[in-house]
Amino acid sequence: MQVIKYAFQQHGDERGQLVAIEEFKDIPFEIKRVYYMYDTGEGVRRGYHAHKNLEQILICIHGSCKILLDNGEEKKVVLLEKPYEGLYISNDMWREMYDFSSDAVLLVLASDYYDEEDYIRDYDTFLASKVKHMQDDQGKDRRREQ
Ligand code: T46
């Protein structure tokens, strides 16, 4: 599994740092929604879902946290601790967020509006959807070869 992390340009001077993120320039999608989480208690684990059709960039703009990515075949843990680093998460990727430092602020840029229908919150349903996508892709390849 390829982990895609963006290192955004830092505009620093004697006054401090500034990071600007522009849709289609610094990240690959239009930003339709921004949300953030903070005051995340010790030992809390969030997420536990995948999205059918949503791209996101996660930026821990303060403190640190870990993100577990699971594509159904492989799992990877990514540490976010730099305010200028963004983790790209595609659709069809199970995610869990944990190990939040007490001062963590996790900012998320999303490619679409909030839609509960877009969530896959059951792990077995997630795995079944991955198998179905794989079979659909194999079917397409076979049709192309004919
Ligand atoms: C994701 C990870 C990284 C809204 O009303 N609007 C929103 O845009 C969002 C994101 C949430 N909500 C409500 C729905 C719930 O009542 O806020 C509450 C907490 O949401 P949720 O339990 O889904 O939060 P997380 O931290 O488990 O997951 C969130 C995003 O929902 C999800 O898309 O990828 O962060």
Angle in degrees, CA 96, 57, 9, rounded to 5: 135
Ligand 1 pocket residue status of 56, Cβ below 6 Å: yes
Q: What is the CATH number of domain 4-145?
A: 2.60.120.10
Express each pLDDT in 78-99 by its tens digit. 999 999 999 999 999 999 999 9
Going by pLDDT thresholds of 50, 70 and 90, the confidence category of residue 133 is confident
For residue 82, give every residue at least 6 positions away whose Cβ sits within 8 Å of its Cβ, in sequence order, or none.
60
Average pLDDT, integer, range 124-137: 87
Q: Taking 80 as the threshold, does the pLDDT of residue 142 lie above it? A: no
Burial of 93 (0-12, 13-18, 19+ CB in 10 A): buried
Nearest CA to ligand 1 atom 20: 47
Give the pLDDT score at 45: 98
Q: Taking 90 as the threshold, does the pLDDT of residue 131 lie above it? A: no
Any idea where the domains of the chain sit in the sequence?
4-145
Sheet with 4-7: list strands edge to edge: 4-7, 85-89, 56-62, 105-110, 33-37
Express each pLDDT in 103-112 by its tens digit. 999 999 999 9
Burial of 33 (0-12, 13-18, 19+ CB in 10 A): middle
Ligand 1 pocket test, pick from 49, 59, 80, 99 with the greatest ligand atom count within 8 Å of Cβ, gives: 49
Rounded to two decimals, what is the model's pTM?
A: 0.94
Express each pLDDT in 22-33 by its tens digit. 999 999 999 999
**Dihedrals phi, psi of 6, to nearest 5 degrees:** -100, 140
Going by pLDDT thresholds of 50, 70 and 90, the confidence category of residue 61 is very high
Going by pLDDT thresholds of 50, 70 and 90, the confidence category of residue 138 is confident
Please give the Cα distance from 23 to 25 (Å, whole number).
Answer: 5
Residue with tokens 């792990």: 123
Express each pLDDT in 3-55 by its tens digit. 999 999 999 999 999 999 999 999 999 999 999 999 999 999 999 999 999 99
Give the pLDDT score at 94: 98
